[in-house]
Structure 1
């Protein structure tokens, strides 16, 4: 079973393109918490599938 959690770290990926606005951190955390139904701190396969199927 795979799980997806929010763990940014050094080298986590490329930075934003020049002039691109970053999403608000509180907005992203809010979305993560809504998808993480069991409040485990990770998004399970089933939670991700449910979130994607609900749009």
Structure 2
């Protein structure tokens, strides 16, 4: 887990060519173990940041 924002949001930061399902599974695991319900997976290796952003909720 890269960031935990005010105990409410998990943020996982990547800089890779493309996000894979294993990255989403990683964030979901962090959410389950921490008890937090909201997480963001952010890939900074994209032309437009909004294409590299995934919101995950448990």
Task: Normalising by structure 1, report the TM-score.
Answer: 0.32
- Bigger fraction of residues in strand: 2
Task: Normalising by structure 2, report the TM-score.
Answer: 0.31
Max Rg structure: 1
- Bigger fraction of residues in helix: 1
